[in-house]
Amino acid sequence: MSTPAAVRRVAVVVNTGSRRGAAALEQATAALRSAGLGEVSTHPVRDGATLAATLDRVVAEAPDLLVVGGGDGTVGCAAGRVAGTAVTLGVLPLGTANDFARTLEIPSDVPGAVAALVAGRVVDVDLGRVDGRAFLNVASVGLSVAVTERLTPALKRRLGPAAYPVATLGAYRHHRPFAARLEFPDGDHEPVELDDLLQVAVGNGRHYGGGNAVSPSASIDDHLLDVYAIERGRLRDHVSIARFLKDGSFVEHERVHHLTTRRVRLRTDPVLGVNLDGEVVATTPALFEVERNAVHVVVPPTSRAAVLDGRRAGEAS
């Protein structure tokens, strides 16, 4: 799909349980039909339990464009299913953080997001995987898992993006440090042993946690994972680190270990849950990998994301 004219069939899957999903479905569908992007079918999802089955069914029908409305977890679930296929992904950012949309500079309002789908361009982005499970932004262990557990739907509806710092403060107060070993199957780094940790994160995209940056150089199409580990330290250390979360320069702090790789195996003591874009669906030990140029996605014509966009699978070199 290089131009809107190439689209004949559009499937719209919206998580109507997301923060703005129910109200956005009708608005987005009407706008897409009015734009003349082809035959538009709608597939509302009432809860997370039916999301995977709905996406499997829709992707099997091979639409030209799959428009997914919901938060990062919903969009990541869809990305894992269209990866390596000819189906192009479109995004309606209807969640609380919308970090994937932020990375790609997709507007957060429904009319703006639909306008980007109509006039945008298609780029290829990388996909992260944890033991085969897909993630777009960041997969992590430690503090982030406790934050996710505190980010209840009620809290997100009540506070919106402000729910993240509130949940983080509560999780920090009850955090228990852990030890980790990072192993690199490709031999690009020596194994790393770390103790007394607050968090270990593996980033595929640029943004996470409602607008924080993984690192100053992180990109969703650089074919690399950004790995960082934060030592527990003192409260003033964490305050200092928090000041630089937005631009990613916190990775330069003396209590933060940062490197890039294509594959890393993480072992922890004790065994910990792994948070993938807001969903705790794996445990350590786990293998983190990057799948290069895996997903075709529509971005606005002015988007500065995916500047390293590579050839799609099957194209001549």
Which residues are marked as active site?
279
Residue whose C-alpha is closest to residue 205's, from 65, 314, 105, 66:
105
Token code pair at residue 36: 């003349």
Judged by DSSP in three states, 180 sits in: strand
How far is Cα 204 from Cα 304, in angstroms, rounded to an integer? 17
**H or E segment at 110?**
helix 110-119
How far apart (Å, rounded) are the C-alpha atoms in residues 200 and 24? Answer: 35
Q: Which residues pair with 10 in a beta bridge?
A: 40, 65
| Angstrom distances, CA of residue 214 to CA of 121, 218, 219, 300 | 25, 6, 9, 22
**Measured distance CA(307)–CA(106) in Å, rounded:** 15
CA separation, residue 36 to residues 2, 158, 288, 301 (Å) = 16, 37, 40, 19
Q: Please, where are the H alpha helices in 211-271?
A: 235-242
8 A C-beta contact, residue 200 and residue 287? no
Q: What are phi and psi of 194, to 5 degrees?
A: -135, 145
Residue 153 CA to residue 269 CA, distance in Å, equals 30
